[in-house]
Structure 1
Amino acid sequence: MNMVAERLAPGSHRSKDYRPEVGRMYHVALVLGQGVSAWVAHDMDSGRVAAMHWAPDADAVRSTDLPSHPRSVTYVTLPEWSTLVPDGALEPGSALDHLTLVHGRSPVGSVREESVGTLGAQCLYVSDLTHERLILERYPMARSLPLQAVLVNGALSRARLGAVLLMHRGADRLDVAIAGGQGLLLSSSYPARTPEDVLYFCLMATERAGLRPDGIVLLSGGTHLAKVDRDLLNTYFADHAAAVPAMAVGALPGGMEAERWSAAFDQITCVS
């Protein structure tokens, strides 16, 4: 059962000094898909979150608060077909075969590659073309990112003090990346519709990474993350926190949790 079935109420957050009309001041990160959408604008000078907006369907792309001429734009569209392949294992013309092997059937659309330099690997992915067109109409220079690469970079950036499991809970899929002091330990996706699915696969991923629930920090986020998911995870993971800390943006209107949009917040880790 999808635990976030109600239509999302739109909402926004703006810092006092946010000026969307100023050119080349912000990086815009968007996430769209499966009934929801959001964007986050980072001030590229200070690194702070200057504004964000969330809405049902793809309505966030139509927000009048979006920066007029941002310095850069990235986006993630869901659902996504993706897999990581070591650089040496990727033969020319084999990308579709890799995705078919992982997902059990051939995806529809063009296969793209995103280099994950920290791993010496390529992230192969196919994203939603309808949502992509909406974004490119607004920002023709926008660059697509695979969610898997966003999670890998996000986990690696948080793993300086110990092992971290960074998870993204979508409508019917759980994506995880586990990293520690020695680098990336695991990156995978699992079918997950219920809170029990989310818990099961988080526990399984932790075990496959050679870790225990009491020896890892779990950071949860995702477009369809719900309280019932967090409550169940709390019973097994002693160190469980939001993927986006409250201090990043403060209290949001309507009780919105910033970690719902972690796939937008963490895109900044992929921007040089």
Structure 2
Amino acid sequence: MNRFSIAAAALMALGLAGTAAAQQPPLRVAVDGTFAPHAMPKMGGGVEGFNIDLFIEVARRMKREIQIDSASFSGLIPAMNAGRYDFLAAPVTVTKERAESLLFTEGYLYTQYQLLIRKGSPQVAKLEELKGKVVSVNKGSAYDSWARANAEKYGFEVQSFDTNTDAIQAVIAGRAYANLAGNTVLAWAAKRNPQVELGLALNETRAHWGAPFPKASGALRNQVEEALECMKLDGTVAKLSEKWFGVAPAADAAERTVFPGYGVPDLPGYEATAHTPSCG
């Protein structure tokens, strides 16, 4: 397990009162440190990425130190429920099933399935236009499951690969028309590789990516959410998104949208209390 923290001295250097930081213990959070560009190893040790920058800034605005662990995603929620972490800084899709046992902030990003195609290839405007084409996926992923469940309906062929990097290489080599994966991961791939570009986004798969908390942590959830809301209002989340994903968020993107109440509307754990975040 890798760990790094933002020390009190660093907080003071950012203009925060040392006493404010010292009055409360550090926020203990965790990420999957292999999920680029959200969290990934960096030269010299530690991890970097969109979610690292995002929650370091959340902690700064809360006048708290933050301790970030990097561990396997499969163990993060059990470790949080066991009391090891206050919340998770890893992006977690907010579903009804998860929201029944966890509290979530509102979405700071939307996650959705998307296609990545070779640059210059004809774009498709709807799934029906995939008929006769090959779609590459990461074997065993949710995208693999979706593609196999829908291949006959839309008339495309599925090729599965051990890694999504290999699935993207199939697109570059012309063995597949498109790679199906998550929008932020593909935006990162397109930013780094001029041979590919983003294709059709499957808006019907869109969901919130939020930060999960234990059920009893409503007060802390609300504090973190208000910090995120302030960061949306002043453009910080949108700037971080463009920095890491290479695409400026649309006007209605989650990075720019302050949702009413606390949590994700219409899902368990949502608190409809009207509030105005204190963004001083």
Q: Could you tell me the TM-score, scaled by structure 1's length?
A: 0.29
TM-score when normalising by structure 2: 0.28
More helix by share: 2
